[in-house]
Chains A and B, each alone.
Chain A
Amino acid sequence: AQKVTQAQTEISVVEKEDVTLDCVYETRDTTYYLFWYKQPPSGELVFLIRRNSFDEQNEISGRYSWNFQKSTSSFNFTITASQVVDSAVYFCVLYTGTASKLTFGTGTRLQVML
């Protein structure tokens, strides 16, 4: 079965702090895809990144970075120098051929305070 665990339900940080959102996934498929989405208070989900299971290179995009480690089945997301606009719910998502659909984690609510 496919499963995504985001153990952190809610995180609060002060602006300019770094924050890491954890994601652990489970699958027996050897080929799979991982995603992160951001859901701001407006509700619309915003696509952030997609990774396939054969590409373990870490990725950096501005203040965002992602650490993919197959050995621990984790795909963690770090925001550097957080800003108030980063306040949102963040979802880690898994796609496998077996499930043939996206499996969402329960999300982590990030609050960045002044």
Chain B
Amino acid sequence: SQTIHQWPATLVQPVGSPLSLECTVEGTSNPNLYWYRQAAGRGLQLLFYSVGIGQISSEVPQNLSASRPQDRQFILSSKKLLLSDSGFYLCAWSGDGGYNEQFFGPGTRLTVL
């Protein structure tokens, strides 16, 4: 069966510090991968998605970036965090085709102080 891991689970970082969140998927090949952010009490905002190694599409211009160095690894990064980057970050995977259901990881709660 497929599983999706995210770490760390929680993170407190000062403004201006770098960020690296990691997501890995097991039990499937060539998944579509997604990064979402959820602000407190709100729905999910798609940040990035990837259909293959090295292929990244950005939905929202901001100071975040994503990379996919391996088939089942998806990384979210920032060189300098802003206060507005605080939120709950969720990674998800799906089969080929955006119409397929997405399966989400446990999330990372990021607080920028």
Contacts and interface: CB of A to CB of B under 8 A. Distances in A.
- The residue among B43, B59, B104 with the most chain A CB atoms within 10 A of its own CB is B43
A42 B90 CA distance: 12
Given A50-B101, A101-B59, A102-B46, 10 more contacts: A43-B107, A44-B105, A45-B92, A45-B104, A52-B99, A95-B98, A95-B99, A101-B98, A105-B43, A107-B43
Chain B facing A: main interface SS: loop
Interface size class of B (residues with CB under 8 A): 20 to 34
Given A91-B44, A104-B43, A104-B44, A47 B109 contact: no
A106 B42 contact: yes
Contacts of A33: 99
A44 B36 CA distance: 12
Nearest to B107: A43
A67 to B, nearest CB: 19
A100 interface: yes
Given A45-B90, A91-B44, A102 B102 contact: yes
Nearest to A9: B41
Interface string B86-113: 0010101000001111111111010000
A64 interface: no
A14 B42 CA distance: 25
